[in-house]
């Protein structure tokens, strides 16, 4: 039997497995089975905590569809709570520094990237105001914050058909690694409402990297200066960034319960 914790950041929920003392072989099929909300444990992402030669721990992230991804901001905030101390975390997106704060964690998410081939896009394009759009959506921005994001600033967030446009854009050939799709509305000074269609997971109650990418795009477009409060369906995150610097994300992290499972049954 293997132990796991169920955790969430603003309702974006995770099964977190400590594989440091007892390694767990994780495949796409096994991750998908564990994440299944009807026949498995159920989660948006599966998180595997391991050892790292250059950090306190490593973090592998698997979406609900079983695909492994580079970064997850909400999961990163859960790691210091899971481990019980401030940690330097090795991810596919690089090293992330996560510190516990009252009710959650603050994470240095690293520096954003804006080059077309770093997003990545299929061909060269301005990533601040892209020369492509879908239906009546405005021209988006693109940002890589460890994983790829495209951001649409709309006038009326409630009028967007997320279930139709999300997968359409996620799988567009313009994005060879697929993409996380962010629909944002400026609702006040340094305040954004955001709904995210996550690559490999669909609509979630919150997306930390999406909040980071959206705040960065808003600052680059001079819509605000920051710190930016990003209101997602699950709650608020505060994002700090200045051009040329790294992104600091602060927000809640919650431990729900612990359990045991026989991983060979998945």
Return the active site residues.
72, 207
Q: Is the peptide bond before 98 cis (omega within 30 degrees of 0)?
A: no
> Do 210 and 180 meet the contact criterion of CB atoms below 8 Å apart?
yes
Q: How far is residue 251's CA from residue 102's CA, in Å, rounded to a whole number?
A: 9
| 237 CB burial (10 A radius; 0-12, 13-18, 19+) | buried
């Amino acid at each position: 039997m293997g132990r796991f914790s169920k955790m969430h950041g603003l309702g974006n929920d995770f099964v977190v497995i400590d594989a440091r003392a007892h390694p767990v072989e994780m495949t796409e099929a096994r991750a998908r089975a564990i994440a299944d909300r009807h026949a498995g444990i159920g989660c948006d992402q599966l998180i595997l905590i391991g050892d790292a030669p250059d950090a306190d721990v490593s973090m592998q992230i698997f979406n609900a569809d079983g695909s492994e991804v580079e970064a997850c901001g909400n999961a990163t905030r859960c790691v210091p709570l899971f481990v019980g101390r401030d940690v330097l975390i090795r991810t596919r997106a690089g090293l992330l520094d996560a510190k516990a704060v009252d009710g959650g964690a603050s994470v240095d998410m690293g520096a954003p990237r804006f080059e077309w081939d770093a997003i990545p896009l299929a061909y060269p394009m301005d990533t601040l105001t892209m020369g492509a759009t879908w239906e009546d959506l405005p021209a988006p921005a693109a940002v890589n914050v460890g994983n790829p994001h495209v951001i649409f600033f709309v006038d009326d967030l409630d009028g967007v058909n997320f279930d139709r446009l999300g997968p359409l854009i996620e799988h567009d050939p313009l994005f060879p690694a697929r993409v996380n799709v962010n629909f944002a509305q400026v609702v006040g000074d340094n305040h954004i409402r955001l709904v995210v269609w996550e690559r490999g997971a669909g609509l979630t109650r919150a997306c930390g990297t999406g909040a980071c990418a959206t705040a960065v795009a808003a600052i680059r477009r001079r819509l605000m200066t920051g710190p930016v409060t990003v209101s997602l369906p699950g709650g608020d995150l505060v994002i700090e960034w200045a051009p040329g610097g790294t992104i600091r994300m602060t927000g809640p992290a919650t431990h729900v319960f612990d359990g045991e499972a026989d991983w060979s049954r998945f």
